[in-house]
Amino acid sequence: MFGLKLLARLAAALHLQPGTEDRRTALAEEATAMARALGDKPSLAWVLMMRVLALLGPDNVDERRALTGEIIRLADENNQPIAALQAMTVRQGSRFRTGRWRTMNPA
C-alpha cells in the first residue's frame, strides 16, 4: 500500500512542474490501478484525490468531475466526511472556473 500512495503523491506533487503532464498521468494511472486491485476503498478514495490534483489545469475537466463523483461516493460508503468535503470543494471550484457556477448546489 505504501508504494501506491507514494506514486499517487508524486503524481500530485508534480503538478507544480511544467512539462510533467505525461509523467503525472502515468503515475496517477498506475497508482489508481494498484488501488483498485487492492480493493481498499478508503485508499482508493485517497489515490483518486491525488489523481485529481495531478490533473489540475485547464484540461481534463470532465475526468476530474468524474473522479470527484467517485471519491464522494466512496467517502460516503466508508464514512469519510473529510474526503467527501475535499472532493466537493474541488468539484465546485472546477464548476466555478469553467463557467458552470450556475450548477453549483448551495445545499
* Average pLDDT of the chain, as a whole number: 88
Predicted local distance difference test score (pLDDT) of residue 90: 87
Q: How many residues are recorded in the chain?
A: 107
**Whole-model pTM over 0.75:** yes
Helix (H) or strand (E) holding 63: helix 61-77
- The pLDDT of 24-45, averaged and rounded, is 94
Residue 107 has pLDDT above 50, yes or no: no
pLDDT of 49 over the 60 cut: yes
- Least-confidence region, from 26-30, 40-44, 54-58, 77-81: 54-58
Percent over 70 (pLDDT), the chain: 88
Task: Check residues 43 and 93 and name the one with the higher pLDDT.
Answer: 43
Q: Which residues contact 4 (CB under 8 A, 6 or more apart)?
A: 31, 34, 35, 38, 43, 47
Residue 39 confidence (pLDDT) above 70: yes
